Amino acid sequence: MRVMVAAGGSGGHVYPALAVMEELRRRGALTQVAWVGDPKGIEAKIVEPHPWVTFLPLPGQGLPRSEPWRWPGALVRALRSVMKAVRLARAFRPHVVLGMGGYPAFGPVLAASILRIPVVIHEQNARPGLVNRVLSRFANEVLVSFAETQLAGGRRVRTTGNPVREEIVSLGQSRELGRELLVVGGSQGSRTLIDAALRAAPKLSRLPGFRMRVVVGRSSPASEVRRRLQDAGLAEVEVVDYEPDMARALRSARLVLARAGATTVAELAAAGRPAILVPWSGAAAGHQECNARALAWRRGGVVLSDEELARTDLGDLLGRLWEDPGQLEAMGEAARAAACPDAARRVADVLVRVGGRS
């Protein structure tokens, strides 16, 4: 089966699609995969190490929602994207197109609809993004991670969970936690979380055997954050711009401080890692808040708003959790109970059926 993937803009769109392609490949159902995305986007970086994926560049740009005077130009670019996507789809001749939301999915999914190629879209967040709200009207199948997610499609909407890569799902088979605090603000990073970790560092440095791994993304210079954490007394600290092996990072984690992107939450649940989640207040329609609450109501994580984080003595909160292995283990078990470890298989089943190949 030839599959065209339209996913990019953030790791939260890319990694679930990659998990599904790896599942199809494991079962021998994938003959070719073409990945359409922005050559300057994170999708190009993530896909590059996978030689079995053909990357098809399609430059794009999201809608500047707060700048309506730029919308006409954005519409022109979107139409050009659709026209180029039509040419790419005609050349590749996919049996099915998988759209994962975000602006890189817009052109390829509409192109597939124009060419009458079957389309499956997947929404990772509890509250759907603008692109998927539009594209759901053109899809043969609409898949969602959360049962409460509302999208156009009526009876065609199916709940599959959010696909997670096998190497992370396998972490959930062990109840043993690691030795590090993992701080990660999504693929773009979070200055808010970095600043909070820096404020907490003096108290954390007094915890016996404490270690920290920080993924800064684009939010801060890694060398500067490393220096400031070490100056605060943290000798065992690793700070990186980007973490290519999140399975390794989660395996080493005892506790996680993170934003609440849908894929981050799904990976924490699958790995059974306790977390303090700080939803990004700028997320469209408050979708990160919904993602976080879906995990927290099972007691798999603690949720703090940006405002609460600013008022909270994070060093004290982290310290109390760090020194209470019983609570950490209970939170990990609760997170694991909220996971959908077979989500990649469910999405792959739909692609095989819609694509007409076994």
258: CATH:
3.40.50.2000
The model carries a pTM of 0.89
- Do both 138 and 192 map to the same domain? no
- Do both 140 and 188 map to the same domain? no
- Do both 11 and 144 map to the same domain? yes
Model pLDDT, residue 67: 62
What's the mean pLDDT in 166-183?
A: 92
C-alpha to C-alpha distance for 140 and 116, rounded to whole angstroms: 10
C-alpha to C-alpha distance for 201 and 186, rounded to whole angstroms: 21
Is the four-CA dihedral 169, 170, 171, 173 of positive or negative sign?
Answer: positive
- Do both 312 and 181 map to the same domain? yes
- Do both 218 and 301 map to the same domain? yes
Model pLDDT, residue 45: 92
Q: pLDDT grade, residue 350 (50/70/90)?
A: very high
- Do both 129 and 193 map to the same domain? no
Model pLDDT, residue 285: 65
What's the mean pLDDT in 141-166?
A: 83
> For 259-316, what is each residue's pLDDT tens digit?
999 999 999 999 999 999 999 877 766 778 888 888 887 888 999 999 999 999 999 9
Model pLDDT, residue 197: 96
Res. 183: pLDDT tops 90: yes
The rounded mean pLDDT for the chain is 90
Q: pLDDT grade, residue 57 (50/70/90)?
A: very high
- Do both 347 and 255 map to the same domain? no
> For 103-114, what is each residue's pLDDT tens digit?
889 999 999 999
- Do both 65 and 157 map to the same domain? yes
17 vs 79, more confident:
17
Torsions phi, psi for 346 (to 5 deg): -65, -45
- Do both 18 and 125 map to the same domain? yes
Contact 358, 352 (CB under 8 A): yes
33 vs 280, more confident:
33
- Greatest Cα pair distance, the chain, in angstroms, is 62
The total of structural domains in the chain comes to: 2
C-alpha to C-alpha distance for 132 and 122, rounded to whole angstroms: 8
C-alpha to C-alpha distance for 14 and 152, rounded to whole angstroms: 23
Region of poorest pLDDT, from 198-207, 234-243, 286-295, 322-331: 286-295
How far is C-alpha 250 from the geometric centre of its chain's CA atoms? Answer: 14
Torsions phi, psi for 232 (to 5 deg): -80, 0
Res. 63: pLDDT tops 60: no
15 closest CA partner among 278, 273, 264:
264
- Do both 211 and 264 map to the same domain? yes
- Do both 196 and 289 map to the same domain? yes
What's the mean pLDDT in 194-205?
A: 96
SS3 33: strand
Model pLDDT, residue 358: 47
Its domain, for residue 134, covers 2-164+341-355
Region of poorest pLDDT, from 8-17, 23-32, 148-157: 148-157
C-alpha to C-alpha distance for 22 and 142, rounded to whole angstroms: 20
C-alpha to C-alpha distance for 189 and 283, rounded to whole angstroms: 14
286 vs 353, more confident:
353
Res. 128: pLDDT tops 90: no
Region of poorest pLDDT, from 26-40, 148-162, 184-198, 248-262: 148-162
- Do both 112 and 238 map to the same domain? no
Torsions phi, psi for 299 (to 5 deg): 70, 30
> For 234-268, what is each residue's pLDDT tens digit?
989 999 998 889 999 999 999 999 999 999 999 99
